[in-house]
Amino acid sequence: MLDASNEREAFDRDHFFHPSTHMGTHARGESPTRVITGAEGVRITDAAGRTHVDAFAGLYCVNVGYGRSEIADAISKQAHELAYYHAYVGHGTDASIQLSKMIVDRAPDHMSRVYFGLSGSDANETNIKLIWFYNNALGRPEKKKIISRWRGYHGSGVMTGSLTGLKLFHDAFDLPRAPILHTLSPYYFRREDRSMSEEEFSQHCADELEKLILEEGPETVAAFIGEPVLGTGGIVPPPAGYWPKIQAVLDKYDVMLVADEVVTGFGRLGSMFGSDHYGMKPDLITIAKGVTSAYAPLSGSIVSKRMWDGLVQGADDLGAFGHGWTYSAHPICAAAGVANLQLIDDLKLINNIREVGPYFLNGLKNALGDKAQVGEVRGEGLLAAVEFVEDKDDHRFFDPSQKIGAKIAAALFERGVIGRAMPEGDILGFAPPFCLTKEDADLIVGKTAEAVEAVL
């Protein structure tokens, strides 16, 4: 146990390689170590005794909020009864079987089965292999390319890093480019032709997608992957008509849709799945984060009935799906998932999102919308973002070196609220736990307005 805070900081600096952190700055002690020691509801406490409202639910994952004893008890019970057994060659546990059923019951009607992993990144790696196996099974081995979108986020693995359409995750790694392609991001606020309506811009995105499919040859394009609402790329809900127009292009060229619902799955938009929310018809749905509310790591690929049938046929010709992780369907994580999904139902948390989500978004709009340097306040369900610009009328963006988004997030942190400076652009993101109250929504809005005032 570490007790002296300077000892803790020294151990951290010298031993802990943190993800998404500037190594030199941290190791030299120029950026602080922050040790989180406890949490309850929407609030987290650090080792210095400070409490913050976590308006980003960790990394938009602690959806039911912190300190839920129902989930902690389920984890403990499972660890005592059966800490581990694998899921290979037909093995299962009560927890993993029960969770599979609960997930498929909640998924759109045409979905069939769930393949488990540990993270959103590994689930998307699995999806790529499922798509390739499927097309080999159908006797069309040339149909392998996958189209993603600029500003999409699909993980940090080698292939999933390529799927991700953000500079930060590509630069300096020489990730493989083929067979991954990128098309327009559905970012209406940043559209090039400012005269376009939302519907026209959606049509433009669908036309660009069709053009790319035709250029590459539809017989070579296997799938299109997208988040129902762009998340890490800036928290951008799709413009009006976007998903039906994209779906029509995909159907026309027999291109599968992968809905990456790592953020939107299990309620965040006020619907159980974003696919239902926007009428998408995916063949694969990626889940992670919200399936356990991050009480234990678990992810999954939900497979459609159509795809399942093709895979079964493929196994007869190609053999078993030779892909698995030691911890696929880990019983402790599955037990956390069962308790978490039960809690979302019992506490009617999705109803709370439908009520508090719009209240929070309107609060942000009322407090900030008129400000000259607030370009847009947008959101859906309990996802919201404020995008800052140098000049709203000219639609002029700040020079990235000014780091305006990061400064505002830091000013907000000083005022006791955690929002997230999104990695590209000056965007402050919010994704609070589903149990957010109107009082805490007011507090987040009030402190955000103060922080913006202090920086701009």
Residues engaged in binding ligand PLP (CB under 6 A): 59, 119-121, 124, 153-155, 227, 231-232, 260, 262-263, 288
Query: Residue 143 CB, nearest distance to ligand PLP (Å)?
Result: 23
Q: Minimal distance in Å, beta carbon 354 to ligand PLP?
A: 22
Please identify, using beta-carbon distances, which residue of 137 and 302 lies nearer to ligand PLP.
302
Instruction: Tell the smallest beta-carbon distance from residue 112 to ligand PLP (Å).
Output: 21
- Measured from the Cβ of residue 257, the count of other Cβ atoms closer than 10 Å reads 21
Closer residue to ligand PLP in complex, CB, 310/423: 423
Q: Report d(CA 416, CA 427) in Å as an integer.
A: 19
- Tokens linked to 34: 């922050």
* Nearest to ligand PLP of 60, 188 (CB atom): 60
Strand pairing category for 36-40 and 43-46: antiparallel
Closer CB to ligand PLP, 225 or 451, in the complex: 225
Which is closer to ligand PLP, CB of 330 or CB of 447? 330
| Distance of closest approach, residue 281 Cβ to ligand PLP, in angstroms | 19
Minimum CB separation from ligand PLP for residue 140, in Å?
27
Give the nearer residue to ligand PLP in terms of CB position, either 102 or 166: 166
Give the CB-nearest residue to ligand PLP.
120
Give me the least distance between CB of 289 and ligand PLP, in Å please: 7
The distance of closest approach from Cβ of residue 71 to ligand PLP in the complex, given in angstroms and rounded to an integer, is: 18
Q: What is the 3-state secondary structure (H, E, C) of the chain?
A: CCCCHHHHHHHHHHHCCCCCCCHHHHHCCCCCCCCEEEEEECEEEECCCCEEEECCHHHHCCCCCECCHHHHHHHHHHHHHCCCCCCHHHCCCHHHHHHHHHHHHHCCCCEEEEEEECCHHHHHHHHHHHHHHHHHHCCCCCCCEEEEECCCCCCCCHHHHHHCCCHHHHCCCCCCCCCEEEECCCCHHHCCCCCCCHHHHHHHHHHHHHHHHHHHCHHHEEEEEECCCECCCCCECCCCCHHHHHHHHHHHCCCEEEEECCCCCCCCCCCCCHHHHHCCCCCEEEECHHHCCCCCCCEEEEEEHHHHHHHHHHHHHHCCCCCCCCCCCCHHHHHHHHHHHHHHHHCCHHHHHHHHHHHHHHHHHHHHCCCCCEEEEEEECCEEEEEECCECCCCECCCHHHCHHHHHHHHHHHCCEECEECCCCCEEEECCCCCCCHHHHHHHHHHHHHHHHHHC
Q: Quick one: 184 or 262, whose CB is closer to ligand PLP? A: 262
- Closer by beta carbon to ligand PLP, 74 or else 123: 123
CB of 156 to ligand PLP, least distance (A): 6
Give the Cα separation of 426 and 408 in Å (integer): 9
To the nearest whole angstrom, how small is the minimum distance from the Cβ of residue 107 to ligand PLP?
Answer: 17
Taking the complex as a whole, how short is the minimal distance between the CB of residue 118 and ligand PLP, in angstroms?
A: 8
Indicate the residue among 120 and 282 with the shorter CB distance to ligand PLP.
120
Tell me the closest approach of the beta carbon of residue 295 to ligand PLP, in angstroms: 14
Query: Among residues 155 and 363, whose Cβ is nearest to ligand PLP?
Result: 155
Q: How far apart are CA 375 and CA 371, in angstroms?
A: 8
Q: Which is nearer to ligand PLP, 263 or 427 (CB)?
A: 263
Residue holding tokens 């170590």?
A: 33
The residue type of 296 is A
